[in-house]
Amino acid sequence: MSALRFVLLAVLFYAIQNVILERRLAQISPAVIVLFSGVQLAVMAGLVIVFREQFGMKELVWPSGWKVAILLGTAALLFLADFCYVSAYNAGGRVALVTTCVTLVPVAASLINAATGGGWPSLRQWLGCTLAVAAVILVKK
């Protein structure tokens, strides 16, 4: 499957998840939601690993050395991001605002990338970042 198809499927799954979070789970403690998500994630990832050939994965590439520490650090960031994301609904956030704010991820990532020596965004990317900020402002009002 192509990268675009994977990302479009992810968008669909995230959209469904957001509607469910807003409508049915906003009153549940964010830590509990993230815990259940983590357990489910581990079970499903384990199944994908066990049946990897059916998912088109011929081999598993495991991290070693410093990459293990980096992976654990990114896992901690994922937990913090998920916790904050779910907390937004728990604090009364609406699906339109919460999901629109996600468009700021490329903005923040571009700035972090530039600040850490990864290069500055192109003019087109700056335009996209500007539109993302404008979208958040419009939805917030």
pLDDT digits (tens, 9 = 90+) for 106-129: 889 999 999 999 988 899 989 998
| Type of residue at 80 | L
Q: Sign (positive/negative) of CA torsion 98, 22, 31, 70?
A: negative
Q: Please state the pTM of the whole predicted model.
A: 0.85
Report the alpha-carbon distance of residue 104 to residue 112 in Å, rounded. 12
Q: What are the residue boundaries of the structural domains of the chain, listed by start?
A: 1-93, 94-141
Residue 79 makes CB contacts below 8 A (sequence gap 6+) with: 34, 38
Q: Does pLDDT of 25 surpass 90?
A: yes
Per-residue pLDDT averaged across 31-56, rounded?
A: 94
How high is the mean pLDDT of the chain? 93
pLDDT of 45 reads 94
| 3-class DSSP assignment, residue 94 | coil
Alpha carbon distance 90, 29 (integer Å): 7
CA distances from 9 to 2, 54, 68, 79 (A): 11, 18, 28, 22
* Residue 29 backbone class (left: φ over 0; alpha: ψ -120 to 50; beta: rest): beta
